[in-house]
Amino acid sequence: MLKKRIYQYLGAAGLALAVGACKTPELVVKNETRSTPASYPTASAAAPATADSANLARVQWKQFFTDPNLKALIETALQNNQELNITLQEIEIAKNEVRARSGEYLPFVGLGARADVEKVGRYTLQGATEEQVDIKEDRRTPDPLTNFQLGAFATWEVDIWHKLRNAKKAAALRYLASVEGKNFMVTNLISEIANSYYELLALDNQLAIVKQNIGIQSNALELVRLQKESARTTELAVKRFEAQVQHTRSLQFKLQQSITETENKLNYLAGRYPQPVVRDDATFNDLQPSVITAGLPTQLLSNRPDIRQAEQQLAAAKLDVQVARANFYPSLSLAGGVGLAAFTPGLLVSTPQSMLYSLGADLAGPLFNRNGIKATYYTANAAQTQAVYRYEKTVLNAYVEVSNQLSNISNLEKSYDAKAKEVAALNQSVDISNSLFRYARAEYTEVLFTQREALESKFDLIETKMQQLNATVNVYRALGGGWQ
């Protein structure tokens, strides 16, 4: 009676410990916020902030960019860019991780063969047993004793709590995240190439203006020299005009260096060695920024590859928590094997005497020293919380980028109009100052200052045009376009 009670108490204690072992610690779970503002606070004059769902991001890059030379550059980069090709290999690595995880929750089956020889001592337990049963009297029994085995074996961890399946799903989500990461790299690569291409066209036009100004300033220098010979001006004026010409020539060489570096940057992005970049710089002034249709902020969640990447990583982090939670529960493993065994190869076919098989099951769960499992569980939850904040940060960053670029487009449009009027006025000022100076009705310093201001204003006009084109490319990228 006493023994029975002891067994009952021990059984109850063991059951209580087992239930306690399966109890998971409480966690503070952070859930992501997927809401976005209803519209963008600012927009360009061509695209006021309305509830229109038309979105520039849905336009493929081949339709967005019309310059054939730029499209050819982009095509080359998408094939040869080394960074992009490295990312493609990372996708392959993620795909192999999914394949590995898929195999973990399937039975593992293998074939094996074994041969060994053993000579035991007479005065050992095994030797005494063999002597007792007279096994050595069998003529077919070799001495020393050999053993040959041939068979198949299998092991399988039964995925009761979906631990392995969730791990496989998490790997699949990370694979999808790597694909979205590649898409995000593609849209950034395309925008960088387009911005550098427009910068190259702008530099070409600035160089043409500098060369034109060198001619104008050289003519003015000759005029000043003639006036000095006729005692209508001084050597100081000659030297000031000469310095102006040399300053502009110095600017020419700086522009040529910038053109070389920009060409090399484009070639690097295209994955090729330095070579001339085919372009038509004469069309730069005719380029017009595309009409922007920003759509709704909620569309960023589906159009931006980096947001979708963060979303997939967040889903994978949530599954990691479930995988870590499953470590608190018992695991069931099955193992079995079937084959043939004999002390001579010829007897392997002597069935059923040579047949052997085995079947077993293991059920085990954590009982003591669960700190390691708890640490893994808490770490997975902390990683999930990080993924939530990272997702929300990515969404916020996307919204801010679009808002900034829409405002930039609007302000650049107004700035370009004002700058164009400034250039027109200064061009007239140059003609007027030259005429007045020719008839000694203006000082040479007025001519110098007017020419310098006219050159700077032309540079600024080209710079503003380039910024307009870049802002259009940047808002296209910010909205999530370019990877399709």
Separation between Cα atoms, residue 335 and residue 327, nearest integer Å: 20
**Same structural domain, 348 and 222:** no
Tally the domains of the chain. Answer: 2
15's tokens: 């059951």
339-361 per-position pLDDT tens digit: 888 888 877 777 887 888 888 88
Instruction: Give the domain CATH number at 136.
Output: 2.20.200.10
Q: Is the pLDDT of residue 406 over 80?
A: yes
286-323 per-position pLDDT tens digit: 888 888 888 899 999 999 999 999 999 999 999 999 99
- Of the residues 364, 382, 416, which one is the last residue of a structural domain? 364
**Sign, Cα dihedral of 265, 266, 271, 275:** negative
248-285 per-position pLDDT tens digit: 899 999 999 999 999 999 999 999 999 999 999 888 98
DSSP output for 144-167 = SEEEEEEEEEEEEEE-TTSHHHHH
Separation between Cα atoms, residue 249 and residue 257, nearest integer Å: 13
Mean of the per-residue pLDDT values of the chain: 84
Band (389; pLDDT cuts 50, 70, 90): very high
| 268 part of a folded domain | yes
**Same structural domain, 382 and 410:** yes
Provide the residue type at 244 as one letter. Answer: Q
**Same structural domain, 357 and 280:** no
Which helix (H) or strand (E) segment holds residue 442: the answer is: none
Q: Is the pLDDT of residue 244 over 60?
A: yes
Q: Is the pLDDT of residue 13 over 50?
A: no
Q: Is the pLDDT of residue 398 over 90?
A: yes
pLDDT number for residue 4: 57
Separation between Cα atoms, residue 214 and residue 202, nearest integer Å: 18
| 10 part of a folded domain | no
Provide the residue type at 451 as one letter. Answer: Q
Q: Is the pLDDT of residue 161 over 80?
A: yes
**Sign, Cα dihedral of 103, 109, 115, 116:** positive
**Same structural domain, 228 and 353:** no
Tokens 């003609």 belong to which residue?
Answer: 431
Average pLDDT of the residues in 216-238? 80
180 touches 307 (CB < 8 A): no
CA distances to 67, 255, 365, 446, 450 from 441, rounded to whole Å, are: 49, 35, 102, 11, 15
Bin 297: left if φ > 0, else alpha if -120 < ψ < 50, else beta: alpha
Q: Which residue has the higher pLDDT, 371 or 87?
A: 87
Band (206; pLDDT cuts 50, 70, 90): very high
Q: Is the pLDDT of residue 472 over 80?
A: yes
pLDDT number for residue 473: 95
Band (28; pLDDT cuts 50, 70, 90): low
Band (331; pLDDT cuts 50, 70, 90): confident
CA distances to 172, 377, 429, 471, 478 from 311, rounded to whole Å, are: 13, 21, 59, 27, 17
**Same structural domain, 118 and 35:** no
CA 62, distance to chain mean position in Å, is 22
Average pLDDT of the residues in 321-342? 88
For the ranges 43-52, 219-228, 428-437, the lowest mean pLDDT is seen at 43-52
Helix, strand or coil, per DSSP, at residue 276: coil
Q: Is the pLDDT of residue 12 over 60?
A: no
| 3 part of a folded domain | no
Q: Which residue has the higher pLDDT, 136 or 225?
A: 225
Q: What are the backbone dihedrals phi and psi of residue 272, each rounded to the nearest 5 degrees, phi first?
A: -140, 165
Band (369; pLDDT cuts 50, 70, 90): low
- Of the residues 364, 381, 413, which one is the last residue of a structural domain? 364
**Same structural domain, 300 and 337:** no
91's tokens: 């996708």
**Same structural domain, 89 and 124:** no
Average pLDDT of the residues in 468-472? 94
445 touches 240 (CB < 8 A): yes
434-466 per-position pLDDT tens digit: 777 676 666 666 777 777 888 888 889 999 999
Instruction: Count the Cβ atoms, other than its own, within 10 Å of residue 89.
Output: 9
Q: What angle do CA 297, 298, 302 make, to 5 degrees?
A: 115
Separation between Cα atoms, residue 254 and residue 300, nearest integer Å: 41
pLDDT number for residue 48: 44
Instruction: Give the domain CATH number at 276.
Output: 1.20.1600.10
Separation between Cα atoms, residue 236 and residue 407, nearest integer Å: 48
Spatial CB neighbours of 150, under 8 Å, sequence gap ≥ 6 = 112, 113, 114, 339, 340, 341, 348
Instruction: Count the Cβ atoms, other than its own, within 10 Å of residue 66.
Output: 10
pLDDT number for residue 142: 67
**Same structural domain, 233 and 140:** no
pLDDT number for residue 18: 47
pLDDT number for residue 123: 73
pLDDT number for residue 3: 55
**Same structural domain, 284 and 200:** yes
Q: What angle do CA 374, 379, 380 make, to 5 degrees?
A: 100
**Same structural domain, 348 and 372:** no
Q: Which residue has the higher pLDDT, 400 or 138?
A: 400
pLDDT number for residue 46: 42
Instruction: Count the Cβ atoms, other than its own, within 10 Å of residue 451.
Output: 22
| 226 part of a folded domain | yes
With a threshold of 0.85, does the pTM exceed it?
Answer: no
pLDDT number for residue 347: 77
Separation between Cα atoms, residue 420 and residue 430, nearest integer Å: 15
pLDDT number for residue 36: 86
Separation between Cα atoms, residue 65 and residue 59, nearest integer Å: 10
Spatial CB neighbours of 300, under 8 Å, sequence gap ≥ 6 = 36, 307, 395, 398, 399, 402, 479, 480
Separation between Cα atoms, residue 47 and residue 45, nearest integer Å: 5
| 168 part of a folded domain | no
37-91 per-position pLDDT tens digit: 988 885 444 444 445 678 888 999 999 999 999 999 999 999 999 999 999 999 9
Average pLDDT of the residues in 83-112? 87
**Same structural domain, 358 and 378:** no
Separation between Cα atoms, residue 188 and residue 190, nearest integer Å: 5
| 6 part of a folded domain | no
148 touches 345 (CB < 8 A): yes
| 163 part of a folded domain | no
Which residue range forms the structural domain that includes residue 223? Answer: 26-105+177-328+368-478
Band (221; pLDDT cuts 50, 70, 90): confident
**Same structural domain, 194 and 66:** yes
Provide the residue type at 330 as one letter. Answer: P
| 164 part of a folded domain | no
pLDDT number for residue 30: 75
